[in-house]
């Protein structure tokens, strides 16, 4: 930590928030032509557009802060797996509609709290990105909350399926509230968000929707960490990168 300069911390921080958007956006874009209705498909694609759009802004800002002449695409396409610092929750496979909704919901509750706080960052650019993203993730939260309630309080099959999705994904939620070295350093200047402090509100917001959805909130137990702090991902992640970076790796240095 002693080695980390404020500039490097800012680059890491912006890129890490961007990674969350890009990777969950990538997963949601995989729903193209696979959703239960066209309306649902369009809602997911629209959310994917928002999230990938957030990643673009954050990567561009990271590139500017870095000052090495890189672009948003260098961050998305020319980094290796371990350079990505997204939370593991964003990268696990889509599973069925229930798994996808639960992931989006858990993440959107977090994103709403996170971007609300980021909108107050002392860094004007991050504050602006936070304010803009907040509008988008507020919609994602509304959409996914409605589906949590429909599935939880729908049929017994949907209730059981979505409860199982919750139970399976819960292990990845703890990571969202861990602080990296970069976050700790930037927090002193009021630039980063104290995500550890978001946990209580997150729990409360989750509990409210779960109550309406007649779902049980799992007990906090083991939290699977790795992506955010160390770039140690799930086995699934390499395939995302292989897909995403295929063109840039196969045809290096081209304009597209």
Partner 1 sequence: MYGDTSIQKPIEIAEPTSEEQARLEVIFQQKIDDNIKIEPQEWMPDAYRKTLVRQMSQHAHSEVIGMQPEGNWITRAPSLRRKVILLAKIQDEGGHGLYIYSSAETLGTSRAEMIEQLQTGKAKYSSIFNYPALSWADMGTIGWLVDGAAITNQVALSRCSYGPYSRAMIRICKEESFHQRQGYELLLTLSRGSDEQKELLQESVNRFWWPSLMMFGPNDSDSPHSAQSMKWKIKRKSNDQLRQEFVDATVPQADFLGITLPDPDLKWNEESGHYDYGEIDWEEFGNVIHGNGPCNKQRIANHIKAHEDGAWVREAAAAYAEKQQNKQVA
Piece of the chain touching partner 1 by CB under 8 A; list 72-80, 105-113, 118-126, 165-173: 72-80
Task: Please identify which residue in 4, 6, 8, 29 interacts with partner 1, judged by CB under 8 A.
Answer: 29
- Using the minimum distance from each CB to partner 1, give the nearer residue, 51 or 195: 51
Single out the residue of 186, 58, 169 nearest to residue 115, CA to CA.
58
Task: Please identify which residue in 64, 70, 77, 131 interacts with partner 1, judged by CB under 8 A.
Answer: 77
Q: Kindly state whether residue 59 participates in binding partner 1, applying the rule CB under 8 A.
A: yes
- Using the minimum distance from each CB to partner 1, give the nearer residue, 197 or 247: 247
- Please give the span between the terminal C-alpha atoms of the chain, in angstroms, as a whole number: 38
DSSP run (H or E) holding 220: none
Piece of the chain touching partner 1 by CB under 8 A; list 136-144, 181-189, 195-203, 248-256: 248-256
- Interface residues for partner 1 in 122-151 (CB under 8 A)? 149-151
Question: Residue 52 is encoded by which pair of tokens?
Answer: 């990938």
**Tokens 């979505």, located at residue:** 162
Piece of the chain touching partner 1 by CB under 8 A; list 82-90, 103-111, 174-182, 241-249: 241-249
Q: Kindly state whether residue 38 participates in binding partner 1, applying the rule CB under 8 A.
A: yes
- Using the minimum distance from each CB to partner 1, give the nearer residue, 55 or 182: 55
Whether the Cβ atoms of residue 4 and residue 181 lie closer than 8 Å to each other: yes
Whether the Cβ atoms of residue 108 and residue 44 lie closer than 8 Å to each other: no
Q: Kindly state whether residue 45 participates in binding partner 1, applying the rule CB under 8 A.
A: yes
Helices 38-66 & 97-118 angle (0-180, nearest 10): 40
CA distance readout (Å), 199 to 106, 114, 185: 12, 10, 20
Tell me the longest C-alpha to C-alpha distance in the chain.
Answer: 55
Whether the Cβ atoms of residue 57 and residue 10 lie closer than 8 Å to each other: no
**Residue ranges that bind partner 1, judged by CB under 8 A:** 22, 26, 29-30, 32-42, 45-46, 48-49, 52-53, 55-56, 59, 72-73, 76-77, 96-98, 149-151, 153-155, 157-158, 161, 240, 243-244, 246-248, 251, 254-256
């Amino acid at each position: 930590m002693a080695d980390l300069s404020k500039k490097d911390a800012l680059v890491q921080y912006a890129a890490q928030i961007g990674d969350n958007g890009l990777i969950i956006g990538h997963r949601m874009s995989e729903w193209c032509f696979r959703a239960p209705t066209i309306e649902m498909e369009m809602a997911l694609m629209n959310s994917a557009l928002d999230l990938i759009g957030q990643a673009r802004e954050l990567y561009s800002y990271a590139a500017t802060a870095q000052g090495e002449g890189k672009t948003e695409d260098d961050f998305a396409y020319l980094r290796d797996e371990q350079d990505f610092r997204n939370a593991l929750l964003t990268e696990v496979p889509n599973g069925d509609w229930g798994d996808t909704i639960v992931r989006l919901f858990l993440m959107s509750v977090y994103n709403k709290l996170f971007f609300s706080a980021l909108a107050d960052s002392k860094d004007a650019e991050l504050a602006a990105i936070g304010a803009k993203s907040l509008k988008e993730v507020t919609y994602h939260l509304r959409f996914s909350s409605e589906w949590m309630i429909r599935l939880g309080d729908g049929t017994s099959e949907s209730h059981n399926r979505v409860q199982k999705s919750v139970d399976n994904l819960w292990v990845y939620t703890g990571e969202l509230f861990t602080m990296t070295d970069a976050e700790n350093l930037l927090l002193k200047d009021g630039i980063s968000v104290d995500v550890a402090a978001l946990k209580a509100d997150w729990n409360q917001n989750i509990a409210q929707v779960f109550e309406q959805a007649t779902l049980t909130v799992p007990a906090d137990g083991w939290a699977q960490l790795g992506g955010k702090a160390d770039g140690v991902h799930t086995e699934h992640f390499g395939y995302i990168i292989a897909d995403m970076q295929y063109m840039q790796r196969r045809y290096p240095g081209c304009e597209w």
